[in-house]
Structure 1
Amino acid sequence: MRSWPARMRGMAFSWMGVGSLKPMSSSALKNCLLSFSASKPMRPKVLPNVSCGMPKAEVNHTGFEDMAPLKGEEAAKALVSLRDGTDWVLQLGKVLSQEQAQGLLAAWNHVDDVEGFQLNVVKPFLEALADKTTSGFTWSGELSSLKSGLLFLTNHKDIVLDPSFLNVVLLGQGLPATEIGIGSNLLASPWVNALVRLNRCFVVERSGSARDRYQHSLRTAAYIRHITAQGQPVWLAHREGRAKDGVDATAPALIRTLSDNGHLETWDALRVSPVSLSYEWDPCDGMKVRELLMRERDGDYTKAEGEDQRSMLLGMVGDKGRVHFHFNNAVMWEDPTEGSRPEQHMAAKVDEVLMTGMRFWPNQRLCGEWIGLDPEVLAPAPEPTQADREAWKTRLSSITGQLEAEGWSEEQVSRKWCEITSAPLTHRHALLHK
């Protein structure tokens, strides 16, 4: 098991209330993204590109320029405009020393391409973020599984940090960073668009009618085949949007699209490698509880303006506890069992691999005990210590306190939160004991 050095600290929960959800402007979001306190000095250094594990040949994006990551002259211009569009020393000086803020900007000043930006600016930022918001990040899996993967398919916990932490692992092993699929609905402003496309993100269009979205998905799949054929790895979430109910289930429609309607050769050429992501705490769990309770009461839920951006921010800067990524071997195409459609069969197979590689936490066992799950279902989660129990009580009290103010009972909130938190255990048991 590998890890990043990280400061182990007591669990201090500061869940941001959702009762008074307000629209967030792009400028406010930008300032919030800069407003986390670094837990140790961050001293970026410009490192030579020879060590960063980037592909030897530049990926050809011809025909997909409108959705592809920025590169070349376009990226160089965006790096300058993004850097010069904000007084970064002033903004970073709110949480870092003047010297540290100037050091980070100095590293940026020496960067003129995407590779240098990722290695010398983004990677140090993410390492500081992990140190600030986790109680330790670890990963496991054979190096061969990292080297052989072309499409890293993960369960979906955080649109920003899932692929970011994955890429820090890859870069740390001298391997190429992935390109990252991100929905157009999350690109709220030009500066966000520029920032994500400088971080090797390609845009998955999510607008239009059902037919439009289907056509967009076909083009996305064609793009993925186009770049993986050139040796460029890709990260994708196994479903659109995070599972609000805690059940990480791969979307059969995604399998169908990636395999071009069930073609063995098309799927196997992608070398789909599932990566099991395990976060001890979900910074957005209170928002999810609120949404699910409102759906049950009202039959529907309408997001407030800026809610996606608020969720992205909270996911980044909120406390995640321990985090573990497990890299599984590639999953090859397998013909379905009788009575099962190919995409459903393969989605279940991917889920089995993801669940087998999952790490479970004491808080999940405590939640399962609270709602009365069978001991066999709880078995993969470790027995909690007294500290685990206290942390669990603190978290639950924080969420119930926030939502009781909106009129929900303690019983309603507690049950829904425990159902969401223990859902991975229930899902694992159902998959592996069917």
Structure 2
Amino acid sequence: MISNEFDDIRPYEAEEMKQAFDDLLSDRQFNIIMKGFTPWLPKLLRNGLLRLAFTGIKTPLDFQKRFMKPVVNYIIRKHTDGCFFDYSQMPTDKQQPRFTFISNHRDIVLDSAFLDVKLIEAGYPTTVEIGIGDNLLIYPWIKRLVRMNKAFTVRRGLTPKEMLRSSQLMSSYIHYAVQQKRENIWIAQREGRAKDSSDHTQEAVLKMLAMGGDLRELNIVPLTISYEFDPCDYLKAQEFQQKRDNPAFKKSKQDDLDNMKTGIFGYKGRVTYHCGKPINEWIDELEGLSKQEYYAALCQRMDQAIHQGYTLYPSNYVALDLLNGDTAQASHYNEADRQRFEQYLAKQLAKIHIPNKDEAFLREKMLIMYANPVKNKMTAL
């Protein structure tokens, strides 16, 4: 049984799953959501079918395989042109170590969900536990569902003193999960998504992970997520203008939900997950550095690994040329690729409806999002 010191943040344990599922089915808002998927089914029959499907589920991993894997595979079929997993630099023994995947951040829901499915398909024995900000757990049913789905809670909006305590607890839990529970962990390299898609690791993330013990215990793997098209690109561009026009602008909870929905159900083109070498293969090279130099060097090496792992698509190269007003990258795309991206860009920009819409500014911001992975990979190589 897990130590109760982690009760406030951890996912559900096996013995808690049935009660959590019963509570989920009793939740009024959850039932409204489910009715939207199956409006032709009476509530009693719908819940009865869900209970029948839940039969035999003992653990969160069982729940993921039974309920979440088919949903994620549906999203891959319906809203991508394929999701590919390159784990060629990972250890060949899939049964032994558990890993902490630190990745760039493209989608709050799907980053780890796609990884879960790909790990199971590749023959790994389990999926990942993920950290999810409590700012997104705005309804009780969402909190229950993510805890059933192997999520632990990251507390947001804390005072510096509370943040220190929260970080220590979360770090201790992550070390416990990898070493004792034998779970994988997924965590983003920074808090929140890089709106301009220039992905850089925050030292604070690595320092937090080190609070609970030696980083080597976590078997950290740099992970690169590459989208051909980011369905939230226009929302990010819109937010850039809103913050430019009003520095005090802050997204609402509804904005967060709209971003989640767009990220899940928007078109992504091709998606690739690339695992770099586990950092245990090179972290000893940083021994002897001062603490300040150590974390700066570690971030730099993590960024280099993540940037080298980008899969670049024609859209990335076209964006860089459009941004620079030249054809320096023309060997990486053809005229059809260019036209397709221009049409895509126009369609996404047309979705933005804000006062004093600045087309030139918004277009430039979107081009930067697609060009930055090319720039970063060139630098890393």
After TM superposition, the score normalised by the length of structure 1 is: 0.77
Match runs of 1:15-414 below 5 Å: 60-85=2-27, 86=31, 90-94=35-39, 105=50, 108-113=53-58, 114-142=60-88, 144=91, 147=94, 148-172=97-121, 173-230=123-180, 231-260=182-211, 266-332=214-280, 333=283, 334-335=285-286, 341-372=293-324, 378=329, 383-403=332-352, 406-414=355-363
Q: Matched residue of 2:5: which SS? A: coil
Q: CA deviation at 1:138?
A: 0.9
Provide the rounded CA distance (Å) in 2 between the counterparts of 1:258 and 1:89.
37
Conservation of the 8 A alpha-carbon contact between 1:171 and 1:177 = yes
Q: CA deviation at 1:295?
A: 2.5
Q: 1:130 to 1:300 in 2, by over 3 A?
A: same
The one-letter code sitting in structure 1 at the alignment partner of 2:137 is L
Q: CA deviation at 1:358?
A: 1.3
Flag structure 2 segments of 5+ consecutive residues without an equivalent.
none
Conservation of the 8 A alpha-carbon contact between 2:109 and 2:264 = yes
Q: CA deviation at 1:411?
A: 1.8
What is the Cα-based RMSD across aligned positions, in Å?
Answer: 3.0
Conservation of the 8 A alpha-carbon contact between 1:335 and 1:342 = yes
Q: CA deviation at 1:104?
A: 7.0
The one-letter code sitting in structure 1 at the alignment partner of 2:156 is R
Q: 1:160 to 1:275 in 2, by over 3 A?
A: same
Residue 29 of structure 1 aligns with which residue?
A: none
Provide the rounded CA distance (Å) in 2 between the counterparts of 1:104 and 1:124.
16
The one-letter code sitting in structure 2 at the alignment partner of 1:406 is P
* Percent identity of equivalent pairs: 27
Conservation of the 8 A alpha-carbon contact between 1:244 and 1:288 = yes
Q: Matched residue of 1:286: which SS? A: helix
Provide the rounded CA distance (Å) in 2 between the counterparts of 1:137 and 1:247.
21
Conservation of the 8 A alpha-carbon contact between 1:217 and 1:257 = yes
In the alignment of these two chains, the number of paired residues is: 366
Q: 1:183 to 1:298 in 2, by over 3 A?
A: same
Provide the rounded CA distance (Å) in 1 between the counterparts of 2:254 and 2:375.
32
- Greater fraction of residues in helix: 2
Provide the rounded CA distance (Å) in 1 between the counterparts of 2:204 and 2:227.
26
Deviation per residue, 1:43-101 (Å, 9 max, x gap): xxxxxxxxxxxxxxxx73442111110123322111122235427874433599xxxx8
Q: 1:145 to 1:242 in 2, by over 3 A?
A: farther
Conservation of the 8 A alpha-carbon contact between 2:25 and 2:47 = no
Q: Matched residue of 1:259: which SS? A: helix
Q: Matched residue of 2:82: which SS? A: strand
Q: 1:145 to 1:165 in 2, by over 3 A?
A: farther
Provide the rounded CA distance (Å) in 2 between the counterparts of 1:199 and 1:190.
14
Provide the rounded CA distance (Å) in 2 between the counterparts of 1:390 and 1:95.
42
Q: 1:90 to 1:403 in 2, by over 3 A?
A: closer
The one-letter code sitting in structure 1 at the alignment partner of 2:299 is A
Provide the rounded CA distance (Å) in 2 between the counterparts of 1:146 and 1:240.
32
The one-letter code sitting in structure 2 at the alignment partner of 1:81 is D
Provide the rounded CA distance (Å) in 2 between the counterparts of 1:277 and 1:146.
23
Conservation of the 8 A alpha-carbon contact between 2:61 and 2:126 = no
Q: Matched residue of 2:193: which SS? A: coil
Conservation of the 8 A alpha-carbon contact between 1:89 and 1:102 = no
Q: Matched residue of 1:234: which SS? A: strand
